[in-house]
Chains A and B, each alone.
Chain A
Amino acid sequence: MLELEEIDIILNMSQRQGKISFYMPSFGEQATTIGVGAGLEDHDLVFPQYREQGTLIWRGYIVKDMLNQCMGNTHDVGKGRQMPIHYGSKKLNFVTVSSPLSIFFQLKIIFYLKLLATQVPQASGSGYAFRLNNENRVSATFFGEGAASEGDFHAALNFAATLQCQTLFLCRNNKYAISTHSSEQYKGDGIAGKSIGYGVQTYRVDGNDAMAVYHVVKQAREYIVKNQKPAFIEFMTYRIGDHSTSDYSVLYRSEEEINFYKQNNPLTRLGLYLKKTGKRQFDEDKDKLERENIRKQISQALKEANETKLHGVNSLFEDVYDNLTPNLKEQQKQLIEHLKEYGKHYKLEKLQQ
């Protein structure tokens, strides 16, 4: 959680300094994402929304991987095709982040808004496959309380319930979808109330309590594989940071409100627990040093990632299909010829040969 917080702080700053084009921190929700990571098995397939870097870090994604993705360089397994923070790792059973963005211009600030919950019903499909294969495996999908207003959320829960999918729905209810407060998002009893209506085993938990998150995820997971049925968890938490680096959240909520949650944040709570129970020896100087070390590592990785080349021209055409189709072959040839003559007008030196 500490590492995650440092990464969020520094990458958020890096965006402000123009080193990366976009970032979304997970301040306030670290207990939820790390707790889920700990409660799941590593072979469970995760369909993320976008603010779940904690789960990915728990599984072994390192800051270098994150930075390579944010820079879109040749070390990025996504080949530089998506915006920053759209992580994915086949190796870590973490499906690539997607969801189209819609851009709103307001007060000269660009808000990037993730509108969709597209990954949620996809997780129902995978969960069906796991049941059919009799696997001890669940398909877990994250989404915010805003995304739960999308049609896809309703499709997902209804399909999972009627078709008995081994799917775990993980709703991060952090009170805001960008500027929209949850009171403008729904009138029922949160998202859990809807889940119950679909006949899905439902839990609600304090998302700022890492221990509670861990235990409820473990329990829900057990329920799923034992009964071959889906389960749903609503994590009550608070989005301490801005929605994204393109957002300035005091325009629509008070600083007092933010400060209240800052003081009661998940890191402080877990720290207090460890202190009281004596499970960890606290040495402030040592902790400071630890944080500094993490920062140094991140700066070094940032420098390296920045200096790495981007994928070459051909990469632009690959993976649209399994093989290049005739139209793509033709367009590839045209582009290469164009660049031969006009290459000096493009920043080709950034690309790998």
Chain B
Amino acid sequence: MNLYQSVTDALDVALKTDKNALIFGEDVKFGGVFRCTQGLNEKYGIDRVFNTPLCEQGIAAFAIGLATVGKTAIAEIQFGDYIFPAYDQIVNEAAKYRYRSGNQFDCGSLTIRATWGAVGHGALYHSQSPEANFSHTPGLKVVIPRNPVQCKGLLLASIRDKNPVIFFEPKSLYRNAEDEVPLMDYELELHAAEVVKEGKDITLIAWGAQMRVLNEAAKQAEQDFGISCEIIDLQTIYPCDMDTLVKSVNKTGRCIVSHEAPVTGGIGSEIAAGIQEKCFLRLNAPVQRVCGLDTPFPLIHEFIYLPDKWKVYDAIKKSINY
């Protein structure tokens, strides 16, 4: 299965195992512009898999209303870039529903899926990584997968979690990442970062499609400098698993965090500050952030904008030689 097929498979399991589950958004009925909901409408009926009018704030609010009365609402926002009209509903409403009512009402059975990240030619409005915007909001969870196996497990866990979750799917991986995905119903734990490769000299942290970049950079650096890199996938971006990161950096003494989103105010800043606070005496070099630039996401310059393999490689070199 590739990534989009693993999404469909997870949604299929969700609809099959929960008669209250509903999927909706723009163009999901015919299968979705990325094919993620293909065949589900035919299988589960038009009342459970349906199109909405073209209005993101409406989609988010409609989902909250469904969740409030016990439906499992799985809403799709076509591109992460277009989630901002729904920002108010997500940040002021969904995130605060349980808290403000003293746990009388909640919309915990709400999951918002949105495509995410660079895609080669998406320019300003088909490339964004808005996870930091939502990770400043208590009450929300933000989850991003890196491969099809993990995507299915994390998506099912997000749908069944009793809190509103925003699930960002790296669209560059929809057709590019392939895996043997178990057909069974399984979940992966939220709030847990995964050490995908153990190492002893430096800790590299990322999520989503950026995990591939880390792998390539680490391979090159290990070959060239004779070091070993520990690579961690954050998986749940907010609230994040700081313990796993701290444990790793206390071991390696060096840390690089990398993401596509602009560097200023990005999640990298949060992680760097946390590591600095908790691993101060163990650090042998400054924590580095290898991120997108503080510009809108460009079209023709995407290849030099992105925090690619060579930028990460250079950061590893600087860290090792510090």
Contacts and interface: CB of A to CB of B under 8 A. Distances in A.
B33 interface: no
Nearest to A115: B88
B63 A151 contact: no
Contacts of A297: none
Given A121-B57, A159-B55, A325-B191, A139 B65 contact: yes
Interface stretch (B96-104, B181-189, B258-266, B306-314): B96-104
A336 interface: no
Interface in A67-108: 76-79, 81-82, 86, 88-90, 95-96, 98-100
Given A122-B93, A326-B242, A319 B63 contact: no
B111 interface: no
A327 B22 CA distance: 32
B15 to A, nearest CB: 14
Interface stretch (B45-53, B112-120, B280-288): B45-53
A142 B189 CA distance: 40
Given A319-B98, A320-B138, A320-B139, A95 B68 contact: yes
Interface string B239-259: 101110000000000000000
B44 to A, nearest CB: 12
B159 interface: no
Interface stretch (A125-133, A172-180, A251-259, A298-306): A125-133
A10 B223 CA distance: 78
B104 A82 contact: no
Interface stretch (B69-77, B147-155, B295-303): B69-77
Contacts of B102: 76-79, 81, 88, 96, 319
A320 B104 contact: no
B62 A124 contact: yes
Nearest to A45: B69
B108 to A, nearest CB: 6
B58 interface: yes
Contacts of A132: 22, 47, 71
Contacts of A79: 102
Nearest to B48: A132
Given A79-B102, A96-B105, A326-B243, A130 B47 contact: no
A88 to B, nearest CB: 5
B183 to A, nearest CB: 28
A222 interface: no
B85 A326 contact: no
Given A81-B100, A122-B68, A319-B103, A159 B162 contact: no
Interface string B174-199: 00000000000000000100000000
Nearest to B47: A132
A57 B172 CA distance: 54
B172 to A, nearest CB: 30
Interface centre among B85, B106, B138, B139 (most CB of A within 10 A): B138
A76 B101 CA distance: 10
A99 B73 CA distance: 22
A163 interface: yes
A202 interface: no
Contacts of A100: 88, 92
A122 B64 contact: yes
B66 interface: yes
A151 B84 CA distance: 13
A170 interface: no
Given A88-B105, A96-B104, A326-B241, A125 B73 contact: yes
B99 A320 contact: yes
11 contacts: A78-B102, A81-B102, A118-B88, A121-B58, A124-B61, A128-B65, A155-B62, A158-B58, A159-B58, A320-B138, A326-B239
- 10 closest A-B pairs by beta carbon, nearest first, are A125-B65, A155-B58, A121-B61, A96-B101, A122-B65, A125-B62, A79-B102, A90-B104, A125-B66, A322-B162
Given A77-B104, A151-B55, 9 more contacts: A81-B100, A100-B92, A121-B89, A124-B65, A125-B61, A126-B69, A155-B61, A159-B55, A163-B52
